[in-house]
Chains A and B, each alone.
Chain A
């Protein structure tokens, strides 16, 4: 190592620190390395120090910033002196280490939800929702929609004996399903909806559920956001499903619900809604705005203007306050609404080459988010660097939806009719 350092024009004294546990811990001693090494070089140095049987990829932070160029350039750009001993923190690289078996659907996978660690929910263009307990094993099929499912969400995933699932569809309805998770058989069970929510005049584009409550909200192409009650008991009337013409599947009586509240304000299709807090809904629309709604009053308390039609929005990050949104251009934008006086995005990530179809914050990390795009790529982002941490290119066509699962996996569905799970992503 010293010999190498002599060859290079400059050498730097570095000390590797980490918060990782014993197999990945290097002795805290100063090491001399050439200043021209990049992340790959640093990673190989640490690997050689660790003497692991299987090489491990690491990412390196200096003063809380990820290194994405050569060490020399980084120091120069940040104005850090190369004289003193540099403390480099390393973390395991945020990249999928394993690609699970793809789960084939009959049609395009348009929606996915990974908020419950037990299951993955997928919505499909064939009008069926599916529950997957593990890659390749579909336990339940949620049927009833006459149009493609556009969005799917857990309404209540905490129940011991069952979970409640809400689906939004292009047939202008939402359906609520109760799934009994206790019964476990090899064959998939088909489940019908216990409640149909009618009220939207056009395709429903997105659904989101209250975290600890019984309410569900949905955004639609009729420019409105409806808030519904998902409870079984409070439904006011039970009508046999005969209203729809040419639809003779009313074997079991179904409950029909009406919207509790309608949030009006968007002027175009509400493409995505999220419900991160008890009475706060965030929505984005093709009218180029992201709005924050107060459910109690039905008024919007925040209006971020982006200039592009938006397809997806998510709230998370530091203090669960950062708003990330993507849409009809390849740029993923992150706003900080707490910042007074400005509505300009604080972060812009522009590595995609087509529309962004989904973006999700990591549930436990303040820095990590993912974005999926029509260019077939899913990118993992860290707010501390402008380059993607890793690019998942498993899909062969447009990626229509993506989500985190279990904190260390990415589930995604796309126009190649596959649900793909990339696991083994270590996020400290």
Chain B
């Protein structure tokens, strides 16, 4: 079987569906025997169009155009007979009620009803059968029940009574008199619905779907044989004669000019009144076309008859008069009874003139507005709760000084702290209880105290004025005390070279049995080397000789082999790399290698106005610099010479910054009487930047003197702050 014939077969199968209506109407037409020509024509055209479709599907042979009338009619009859049955099936499916099928349906329904209602009905059923009921018209019974007994007629009600009863009963319309059984039947809702549906011509059952999707029972994938073995009609292969005639007609009409294709385009008689004037053509002319600002659309208040709430009262109108002219509302709503009574708008000319001025005199600028949620700009920081412990509350105070406490220093075990004050006293406190253990009284204000970092060498270095004192705290064991006493005895001073001698002189201190080093300028800062033997001293007034290093074991002083630039502020020994020495001047921080004769290694550009303090992370790669303008810079020295982060927290000078030895904490204290605690974690992974999270603002010192120094407890996450109110506070976690 060729493809073509297959296609034809498919057509055949589909055909009946399409043909039904015309065929049936043909039948009906015959039955009714209405021989009107128009109808005939209609029918003809109907069949014709049908044929057209067929011929289109198989119009390959155009040769046999006009020789197939007989064949056609013959085929037609064949088709009719062949598809009679299928017609009916489809009819019933479609719900088009023809006579026969309707009868069948109603019968079926009765049967169904009987089977449904037989169980509940108790009344004796008449068994007379299908006989004319008028036979029993005059009898007293209507028939016989199943046992053969007579079923007597019910007594007839008076017509009036029954009429009244029907009028009273709201359900009367549902009641039907059953003559056969002599009883009144009340139709149920379902039954009445059923009837209603039947009256409408729908399928009686509600669940019956007349438009169910078509299931093609006659086609399946593996079908080998065609349903009909009839040969393909010839008309399928030849072009339609009627079509050709129609085409010729149309062609003639076109040639004569009766049919025109291009209709004149109609102008749209409505347009968008308030739409954008700047059409696309204007936009395309300029590269940066800015449309003029739109006028405000009129609202309800500009109606000729606005609602009462828009109308200003007399008082309001009077208050408008008092206002400046610019502030006065431009339009005062008024009410008019009709559109006719509206006067001309007095400002119309002026306003349109103003508008024109606006349009061509005001340059238009495109404003860029960025809508960003400010929250999204914040960096994602971990919660403070996860970063515990950190100091947050003050439980202990160390009171005893009479002047502002300028400097504090913690002993490396964390048992004691030392403090120096402007009242000239240096005190040692017990951290645990807040008891003052020892007091040294001097004549000058103490500038800086520093506890020796070695645990078995409890010596305190104190700087004041031009003097630097080494004090024996007498806190070590007996052997340690012996060593310290030997060390602090100035028996054989080595000969200092002249330059160094000009800077500092080593003298014994009689009063407290320590050592006094007298410098040529005032000291501002001292710092111990982590090994506890060297001590750097800073003299801001010393210019190029501003930083010296003392060696305690040799009782000697050395000048730095460095050419100083700028005034030194503070110094640091690198915690890990022994030879590295960090000097902060007012603007820059420089790193030198003392082992290599003071070779400069790095210069950090802080960008600050005046550096006040500096602290180094115990890891050695990160540096925090505090400034007198309240800014704090975190430098990652491996990363760059520019600050990694600048923290602007304090409104006043930062007095000191500090790192915790073991916890990832750092703090800054300021003259605004607060200390800030930060989480500053440095990762061993070099790719990861340090994490800095502000944790806590420690308040508590009185506002007059600020916080002058802060130091972390060496082992606990606690912070000591020294205040200008002469109190030292301990903040615990």
Residues of chain A with a CB closer than 8 A to B395's CB: 328-330, 354-355, 374
**Chain B 474-495 per-residue mask, 1 if CB under 8 angstroms from chain A, else 0:** 0001100110000000000000
Q: Are A269 and B415 in contact (CB under 8 A)?
A: yes
A207 within 8 A of B: no
In the complex, chain B residues 687-733 whose Cβ is within 8 Å of any chain A Cβ: 715-716, 718, 732-733
Q: Are A374 and B396 in contact (CB under 8 A)?
A: yes
A70 within 8 A of B: no
In the complex, chain B residues 196-249 whose Cβ is within 8 Å of any chain A Cβ: none
Q: Are B413 and A202 in contact (CB under 8 A)?
A: yes
Binds B, one of A37-45, A158-166, A307-315: A307-315
**Chain A 205-247 per-residue mask, 1 if CB under 8 angstroms from chain B, else 0:** 0000000000000000100000000000000000000011100
Distance A374 CA – B435 CA, assembled complex (angstroms): 12
**Chain A 117-135 per-residue mask, 1 if CB under 8 angstroms from chain B, else 0:** 0000000010000000000
Instruction: Take A329-B732, A355-B395 as given contacts and tell me if A245 and B435 are in contact as well, using a CB distance cutoff of 8 Å.
Output: no
Please report the number of residue pairs spanning A and B whose Cβ atoms sit closer than 8 angstroms: 54
Selected from B433, B478, B716, B733, the residue in CB contact (under 8 A) with A400 is B433
Distance A271 CA – B715 CA, assembled complex (angstroms): 15
Q: Are A328 and B478 in contact (CB under 8 A)?
A: no
- A223 to nearest B CB, angstroms? 9
A108 within 8 A of B: yes
Distance A201 CA – B733 CA, assembled complex (angstroms): 28
Where chain A touches its partner, the secondary structure class is loop
Distance A7 CA – B431 CA, assembled complex (angstroms): 58
Residues of chain A with a CB closer than 8 A to B732's CB: 308-309, 328-329, 355
- B458 to nearest A CB, angstroms? 11
Q: Are A245 and B396 in contact (CB under 8 A)?
A: no
Q: Are B716 and A243 in contact (CB under 8 A)?
A: no
Q: Are B478 and A308 in contact (CB under 8 A)?
A: no
Q: Are A245 and B482 in contact (CB under 8 A)?
A: yes
Residues of B within 8 A of A (CB): 389, 395-396, 413-415, 432-435, 477-478, 481-482, 715-716, 718, 732-733
Residues of A within 8 A of B (CB): 108, 110, 125, 172, 201-203, 221, 243-245, 268-269, 271, 286, 307-309, 311, 328-330, 354-355, 374, 398, 400, 415
Distance A400 CA – B433 CA, assembled complex (angstroms): 8
Residues of chain B with a CB closer than 8 A to A398's CB: 433-434
Residues of chain B with a CB closer than 8 A to A221's CB: 413, 415
**What would 14 A/B residue contacts be, using CB atoms closer than 8 Å?**
A202-B415, A221-B413, A221-B415, A245-B478, A269-B413, A307-B389, A308-B733, A309-B716, A329-B395, A354-B396, A355-B732, A374-B396, A415-B433, A415-B435
Distance A297 CA – B416 CA, assembled complex (angstroms): 34
Residues of chain B with a CB closer than 8 A to A329's CB: 395, 732-733
Distance A328 CA – B393 CA, assembled complex (angstroms): 11
Instruction: Take A172-B477, A245-B482, A308-B733 as given contacts and tell me if A268 and B715 are in contact as well, using a CB distance cutoff of 8 Å.
Output: yes
Q: Are B389 and A355 in contact (CB under 8 A)?
A: no
Instruction: Take A221-B413, A355-B396, A374-B396 as given contacts and tell me if A244 and B715 are in contact as well, using a CB distance cutoff of 8 Å.
Output: no
Residues of chain B with a CB closer than 8 A to A202's CB: 413, 415
Specify which of A202, A309, A400 lies most central, judged by the most chain B CB atoms within 10 Å of its CB.
A309
Distance A110 CA – B433 CA, assembled complex (angstroms): 9
- B457 to nearest A CB, angstroms? 13
Distance A374 CA – B434 CA, assembled complex (angstroms): 10
Residues of chain A with a CB closer than 8 A to B432's CB: 271, 311
Distance A245 CA – B389 CA, assembled complex (angstroms): 43
Residues of chain A with a CB closer than 8 A to B716's CB: 286, 309, 328
- Identify the 10 closest CB pairs spanning chains A and B, nearest first: A354-B395, A328-B732, A355-B395, A309-B716, A221-B415, A268-B715, A201-B477, A244-B478, A172-B477, A221-B413
Instruction: Take A203-B415, A400-B433 as given contacts and tell me if A286 and B715 are in contact as well, using a CB distance cutoff of 8 Å.
Output: yes
Residues of chain B with a CB closer than 8 A to A308's CB: 732-733
Distance A203 CA – B415 CA, assembled complex (angstroms): 9
Distance A400 CA – B478 CA, assembled complex (angstroms): 28
Starting from the known contacts A203-B415, A286-B716, A355-B396, 14 additional A-B residue pairs (CB-CB under 8 Å) come to: A108-B433, A108-B435, A125-B435, A245-B481, A268-B715, A269-B415, A307-B389, A308-B733, A309-B716, A309-B732, A328-B716, A374-B395, A374-B434, A415-B434
